[in-house]
């Protein structure tokens, strides 16, 4: 269970509007708003998978991002 005492900073947001359920993109649901989206993201829905050895799961072809992109201290592409 998450602890409120273990907060490590503000969560990032994704700019843009969330599509209506009837207008979801064909591939990844975040592909139209994600700054890291590639052509594959617009075509295929990424499978849900475990993130490294943690209990967290992700549905992203590029997670963890630092394995695919050079990120700045703020988490954006450098």
pLDDT at site 76: 53
Return the higher-pLDDT residue of 9 and 75.
9
The predicted model gives 64-78 an average pLDDT of 66
User: Cβ-count burial of 16 within 10 angstroms (0-12 exposed, 13-18 middle, 19+ buried)?
Assistant: exposed
The predicted model gives 9-26 an average pLDDT of 87
Prediction pTM value: 0.68
pLDDT at site 47: 95
- Which band of pLDDT confidence, cut at 50, 70 and 90, is reported for residue 78? very low
Phi, psi of 56 (to 5 degrees): -85, 150
């Amino acid at each position: 269970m998450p602890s409120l005492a273990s907060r490590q900073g503000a969560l990032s947001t994704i700019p843009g509007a969330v599509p209506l359920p009837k207008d979801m993109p064909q591939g990844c649901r975040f592909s139209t708003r994600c700054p890291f989206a590639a052509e594959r993201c617009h075509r295929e829905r990424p499978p849900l998978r475990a993130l490294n050895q943690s209990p967290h799961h992700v549905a992203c072809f590029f997670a963890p991002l630092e394995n695919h992109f050079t990120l700045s201290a703020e988490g954006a592409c450098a």
